[in-house]
Chain A
Amino acid sequence: DTAVSQTPKYLVTQMGNDKSIKCEQNLGHDTMYWYKQDSKKFLKIMFSYNNKELIINETVPNRFSPKSPDKAHLNLHINSLELGDSAVYFCASTRGGANTGELFFGEGSRLTVL
């Protein structure tokens, strides 16, 4: 069983469309994240949820809206997609309480906006 699974793995879409990426973890972790990896491979945190509550919200356009229906799921919805949104989006999770920085990442969702 995959610990952190994301769907879809690849997404190609037109500018202006709305799309969602889903993430599920079966590790029993309390904290989940979305990271964006750009073409230069730089990893930047976007959001973090702890037990369904938003705890980190970096400077991300409000076209990006995370949703956590329960602590095992964190989805990312993107409205009005732009060319600059093309990137690989990684979901990650870690146990709650003392945050050790020990993240478990999903395989990534490569988004290409045409």
Chain B
Amino acid sequence: GQQLNQSPQSMFIQEGEDVSMNCTSSSIFNTWLWYKQDPGEGPVLLIALYKAGELTSNGRLTAQFGITRKDSFLNISASIPSDVGIYFCAGMKYGNKLVFGAGTILRVKS
């Protein structure tokens, strides 16, 4: 089945540092999305990307839809303690179900 490889698995960074994580697939996707899950909560959509090469920002977050349509990355600038959580990438083809990556656990040291 379709599989997304998300890396890194976890990160422990200093407050104020920038963070970068990515997701790759052997399949082409038409949509890439990034979700964040806080402890004890459900995932919340951060950014959705619909076009190859698209670069989208949401505050300190920036995500890009890879030109090959097989990858995406998420950057967080100037991390703060409330950035802690699990970040999931997700990919979807038209008319098909959403596939999630395994998640990147982010811990921030203040």
Interface size classification for chain A = 20 to 34
Chain B contacts of A41 at CB under 8 A? 37, 86, 102-103, 105
How far apart are A64's CB and chain B's nearest CB, in angstroms? 17
Q: What residue of chain A has the Cβ atom nearest to residue B96's Cβ?
A: A99
Q: Which residues of B contact A104 (CB under 8 A)?
A: 45
* A-B residue pair count with CB separations less than 8 angstroms: 51
**Residue contact B92 to A42, C-beta cutoff 8 Å:** no
B43 contacts A43, CB within 8 Å?
A: yes
Which residues of A are found within 8 Å of B97, using beta-carbon distances?
Answer: 45, 48, 56
Pick the residue among A40, A103, A106, A108 that contacts B98 (CB under 8 A): A103
For B105, list chain A residues within 8 Å (CB): 41
* From A90, A103, A104, residue with most partner B Cβ within 10 Å: A103
The answer to whether A103 touches B86, judged by C-beta atoms less than 8 angstroms apart, is no
Most central of A40, A48, A56, A99 by chain B CB within 10 Å: A99
Q: Name the residue of chain B whose CB is nearest to the CB of A92.
A: B42
Pair B95/A100 contact, Cβ less than 8 Å:
no
Select from chain B the residue with minimum beta-carbon distance to A40: B102
Report whether B103 and A45 are in contact in the complex, using a CB–CB cutoff of 8 Å. no
Contact yes or no, B41 A108, CB < 8 A: yes
> Are B48 and A105 in touch, CB under 8 angstroms?
no
A105/B103 contact (C-beta < 8 A), A45-B97, A100-B31 known? no
Q: For B103, what are the chain A residues with a Cβ–Cβ distance below 8 Å?
A: 41-43
Known: A41-B86, A42-B100, A100-B31. 9 other contacts (CB 8 A): A4-B42, A43-B103, A44-B100, A90-B42, A99-B95, A100-B48, A101-B48, A101-B90, A103-B43
